[in-house]
């Protein structure tokens, strides 16, 4: 059966990761959970559903949490994997936001994050400068974690 990757992004890093994971899996359908098609997805077509979202101020992007919670019963019959995009190495926000899905997921991982300086608002730049003591683009994307996540999803989908 097919794989769906459903993602929620604010600045594009999670969208790029969704595409990278789809490539690693050898293909998957991708849906933007902030777009008009999010409410129209027919999950019956999918055996595996990967959900990814970015974290801001300790919270997972709301559109992903709302979408996943509304479909928890349907997702229970599928292989589910969850990935979080965020620059900090702190506890996973996805475990707080979606504990039920995390408990049954075939993979749950924080894959790192990216600061895309030019895309940040002025207040966001102030926050990042204060926390990270630096400015400009940066990436903490963990390639090994991405590979391990893709492999876990691939194996579970066989
Ligand atoms: C204002 C602000 C707050 C952030 N808060 C967090 C956070 O609490 N935890 C974290 O891991 N990353 C945090 N980040 C980093 C983002 O999650 C990171 O830039 C991520 O790649 C954004 O993904 P997106 O482009 O898909 O939205 C923050 C970034 C900004 C600009």
Q: What is the chain written as a DSSP string?
A: -EEEEEEE-SSSHHHHHHHHHHHHTT--EEEETTSGGGGG--GGGEEEEEEEEEEETTEE-HHHHHHHHHTHHHHTTSEEEEEEE-SS-S--HHHHH-HHHHHH-SEEEE---EE-GGGS-HHHHHHHHHHHS--S-EE---HHHHHHHHHHHHHHH-
Q: Is the CB of 11 under 6 A from ligand 1?
A: yes
Probe target for ligand 1 pocket from 7, 8, 83, 87, with the most ligand atoms within 8 Å of CB: 87
Provide the number of structural domains found in the chain.
Answer: 1
Is pLDDT above 90 for 154?
Answer: yes
Residue nearest to atom 1 of ligand 1 (CA): 124
CATH of the domain at 105: 3.40.50.360
Domain range enclosing 63: 2-157
pLDDT tens for each residue of 54-103: 999 999 999 999 999 999 999 999 999 999 999 998 889 999 999 999 99
The response to whether residue 88 sits with its C-beta less than 6 Å from ligand 1 reads yes
What are 87-98's pLDDT values in tens digits? 998 889 999 999
């Amino acid at each position: 059966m097919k794989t769906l990757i459903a993602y929620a992004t604010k600045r594009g890093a999670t969208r790029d990761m969704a595409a990278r994971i789809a490539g690693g899996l050898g293909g998957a359908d991708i849906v933007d959970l902030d777009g008009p098609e999010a409410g129209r997805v027919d999950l019956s077509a999918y055996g595996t559903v990967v959900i990814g979202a970015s974290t801001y101020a300790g919270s997972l992007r709301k559109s992903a949490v709302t979408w996943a919670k509304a479909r928890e019963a349907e997702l229970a019959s599928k292989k589910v994997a969850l990935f979080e995009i965020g620059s900090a190495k702190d506890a996973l926000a996805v475990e707080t936001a979606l504990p039920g899905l995390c408990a049954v997921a075939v993979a749950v991982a924080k894959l790192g994050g990216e600061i895309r300086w030019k895309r940040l608002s002025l207040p966001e730049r102030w926050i990042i400068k204060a926390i990270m003591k630096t400015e400009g683009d940066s990436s903490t994307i963990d390639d090994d974690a991405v590979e391990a996540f893709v492999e876990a999803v691939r194996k579970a989908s066989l």
